[in-house]
């Protein structure tokens, strides 16, 4: 009985302490709100006094001007339709300025790649092609007299002469060989790797097995290891098994997938109803049938987006082939342009051809993104279906 009395007394003391603390907090909050309210009232009064000191003719002009845009100030009428049009115009102007800002570098690359020397009346060079390329703003001061796209022809010629790797009938084809190598390093590992990553994402998202989270977070931890810190070790391994002189170092490792691709697709699959897979399992479908017949079609936006992004990354990859590829025969387009840039970027005659080669390398990526931009953007939105 005594213990019960003591417990009840302790409860009462605790309740009193809590109520006193709550009262103190309420008083402090009330005090803070009072200070904030006083500050707002002072600001409002100061604003009113400021408007009162404005001359009447200026107030009339502001009322008419703001009223034309739908804002009712100084007693003027308010128009929601005009106000909406005003904000729409402001939004479109901001978007147009941002779009032009982002597109201008690509336009400058194209315009600069057309630059050619300027000749005087005697037929001598007055301004070299490098100067005309650098001073280009929207259009070069002068283009090549041999044709508008002469620099692109010259770029292919210079790329062919950079490496005498492929010769057919005495004609060098290093440019097209580098393009084929780039396609090999982009299509094969990306296609197989995205499929492998999608299967791993399906296992991490929809299958239950012991240690699933540990394995997934262990894979995520590998992202923290930067590529430059392990590329020497990778080169030693690839060189010892003979992959550095035939391009396999750029193909085989990518076929095992990428953890970031698996992570993205896994997050997408979390929004897919599990009931679909459970119904398929009841009908006798195994994991492979579930993955091929249900997961791939439903996760197609995410898989396609990852394929496109991975392809773009592989196409633009420069460091890995620079380290892993030792034979000129197997070097991709990025290394060919790098060699061209090293040899001719400051050449007063061939500098625009280097820019033309960069445009040629960038063009497939721009076309690919323009075609599949809706797929890339749509894949970011998870499905709205609920279980």
- Write down the pLDDT at residue 190: 93
Residue 86: both structure tokens together: 């005003």
Query: pLDDT at residue 30 above 70?
Result: no
CA angle (342, 345, 351) in 5-degree steps: 145
Query: pLDDT at residue 13 above 50?
Result: no
Residue 29 dihedral angles phi and psi, to the nearest 5°: -65, -40
Query: pLDDT band at 46, cuts 50/70/90?
Result: confident
67 located within any domain: no
Per-residue pLDDT tens digits for 240-256:
999 988 889 999 999 99
Which of 14, 36, 53 is the last residue in one of the domains?
A: 53
Contacts 24+ apart (CB under 8 A), 269-274: 269/201, 269/202, 269/205, 269/206, 269/295, 269/299, 269/302, 270/205, 270/382, 271/382, 271/383, 271/384, 271/385, 272/205, 272/206, 272/298, 272/299, 272/383, 272/385, 273/385, 273/386, 273/387, 274/206, 274/387
How far is residue 153's CA from residue 141's CA, in Å, rounded to a whole number?
Answer: 20
Domain encompassing residue 30? 2-53
Q: Which residue has the higher pLDDT, 201 or 26?
A: 201
Which of 53, 70, 91 is the last residue in one of the domains?
A: 53
60 located within any domain: no
Strands 171-172 and 167-168 turn out to be: antiparallel
Q: Alpha helices of 207-258 — where are they, by DSSP H?
A: 212-221, 227-240
- Write down the pLDDT at residue 379: 60
How far is residue 140's CA from residue 117's CA, in Å, rounded to a whole number?
Answer: 10
- Write down the pLDDT at residue 17: 45
- Examine the domain organization and report whether 232 and 363 are in the same domain: yes
How far is residue 51's CA from residue 212's CA, in Å, rounded to a whole number?
Answer: 66
Query: pLDDT band at 33, cuts 50/70/90?
Result: low
Percent of the chain with pLDDT over 90: 18
Residue 158 near residue 174 (C-beta atoms within 8 A): no
Q: Is the dihedral of CA 328, 329, 335, 338 positive or negative?
A: positive
Per-residue pLDDT tens digits for 106-119:
999 999 988 888 88
- Please name the helix (run of DSSP H) or strand (run of DSSP E) that holds residue 251, with its range, or none: none
Q: What's the rounded mean pLDDT across residues 150-176?
A: 72
- Examine the domain organization and report whether 157 and 48 are in the same domain: no
Strands 125-127 and 167-168 turn out to be: unpaired
- Examine the domain organization and report whether 178 and 325 are in the same domain: yes
135 located within any domain: no
Query: pLDDT band at 182, cuts 50/70/90?
Result: very high
How far is residue 229's CA from residue 223's CA, in Å, rounded to a whole number?
Answer: 12
Per-residue pLDDT tens digits for 63-79:
677 766 666 666 666 77
How far is residue 193's CA from residue 190's CA, in Å, rounded to a whole number?
Answer: 5
How far is residue 335's CA from residue 320's CA, in Å, rounded to a whole number?
Answer: 10
- Examine the domain organization and report whether 353 and 242 are in the same domain: yes
Chain-centroid distance, C-alpha 102: 13
387 located within any domain: no
- Examine the domain organization and report whether 34 and 176 are in the same domain: no
Q: Which of 10-19, 117-126, 151-160, 250-259 has the highest mean pLDDT?
A: 250-259
Query: pLDDT band at 191, cuts 50/70/90?
Result: very high
29 located within any domain: yes
- Examine the domain organization and report whether 198 and 341 are in the same domain: yes
Task: Provide the CATH number for the domain around residue 194.
Answer: 1.10.3720.10
Q: Which of 28-42, 161-175, 220-234, 269-283 has the highest mean pLDDT?
A: 220-234
Chain-centroid distance, C-alpha 255: 23
How far is residue 372's CA from residue 358's CA, in Å, rounded to a whole number?
Answer: 22
Say which residues have a Cβ less than 8 Å from residue 377's Cβ, sequence separation at least 6. none
The count of domains in the chain is 2
Q: Which residues pair with 168 in a beta bridge?
A: 171
- Examine the domain organization and report whether 215 and 361 are in the same domain: yes
CA angle (49, 52, 55) in 5-degree steps: 140
261 located within any domain: yes
- Examine the domain organization and report whether 40 and 156 are in the same domain: no
235 located within any domain: yes
Q: What's the rounded mean pLDDT across residues 31-39?
A: 69
Token pair 């993104």 in the structure block, residue? 369
pTM of the entire predicted model: 0.71
Which of 11, 36, 53 is the last residue in one of the domains?
A: 53
- Write down the pLDDT at residue 304: 87
249 located within any domain: yes
Average pLDDT, the chain: 80
- Examine the domain organization and report whether 342 and 203 are in the same domain: yes
Query: pLDDT band at 93, cuts 50/70/90?
Result: very high
Q: What's the rounded mean pLDDT across residues 250-265?
A: 90
Which of 124-133, 167-176, 326-335, 364-373 is the least confident region?
167-176
Taking residue 125's Cβ as centre, other Cβ atoms within 10 Å add up to 14
- Examine the domain organization and report whether 218 and 361 are in the same domain: yes
- Write down the pLDDT at residue 29: 63
């Amino acid at each position: 009985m005594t213990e019960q009395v003591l417990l009840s007394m302790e409860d009462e003391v605790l309740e009193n302490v809590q109520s006193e603390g709550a009262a103190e907090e309420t008083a402090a909050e009330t005090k803070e709100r009072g200070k904030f309210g006083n500050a707002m009232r002072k600001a409002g009064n100061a604003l009113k006094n400021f408007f009162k000191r404005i001359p009447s003719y200026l107030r009339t002009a502001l009322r008419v001007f703001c009223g034309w845009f739908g804002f009712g100030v100084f007693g003027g009428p308010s128009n929601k339709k005009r106000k909406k049009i005003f904000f729409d115009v402001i939004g479109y102007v901001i978007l147009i300025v941002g779009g032009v800002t982002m597109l201008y570098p690509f336009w400058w690359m194209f315009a600069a790649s057309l630059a050619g020397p300027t000749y005087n009346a005697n037929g001598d060079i007055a301004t070299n092609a490098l100067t005309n390329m650098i001073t280009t703003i929207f259009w070069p001061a002068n283009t090549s007299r041999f044709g508008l796209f002469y620099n692109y022809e010259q770029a292919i010629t210079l790329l062919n002469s950079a490496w005498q790797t492929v010769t057919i009938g005495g004609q060098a084809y290093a440019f097209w060989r580098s393009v084929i190598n780039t396609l090999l390093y982009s299509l094969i590992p990306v296609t197989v790797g995205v499929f492998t990553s999608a299967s791993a994402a399906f296992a991490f998202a929809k299958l239950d097995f012991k240690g699933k989270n540990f394995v997934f977070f262990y894979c995520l931890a590998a992202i923290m290891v930067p590529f430059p810190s392990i590329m020497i070790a990778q080169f030693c391994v690839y060189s010892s098994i003979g992959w550095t002189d035939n391009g396999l170092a750029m193909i085989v490792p990518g076929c095992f997938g990428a953890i970031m691709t698996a992570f993205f697709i896994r997050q997408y699959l979390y929004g897919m109803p599990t009931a679909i897979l459970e119904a398929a399992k009841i009908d006798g479908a195994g994991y492979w049938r579930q993955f091929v017949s249900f997961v791939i079609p439903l996760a197609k936006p995410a898989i396609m987006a990852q394929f496109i992004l991975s392809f773009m990354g592989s196409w633009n990859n420069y460091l890995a082939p620079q380290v892993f590829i030792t034979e000129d025969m197997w070097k991709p387009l990025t290394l060919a342009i790098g060699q061209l840039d090293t040899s001719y970027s400051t050449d007063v005659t061939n500098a625009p051809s280097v820019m033309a080669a960069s445009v040629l390398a960038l063009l497939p990526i721009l076309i690919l993104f323009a075609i599949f931009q809706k797929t890339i953007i749509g894949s970011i939105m998870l499905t709205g279906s609920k279980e």
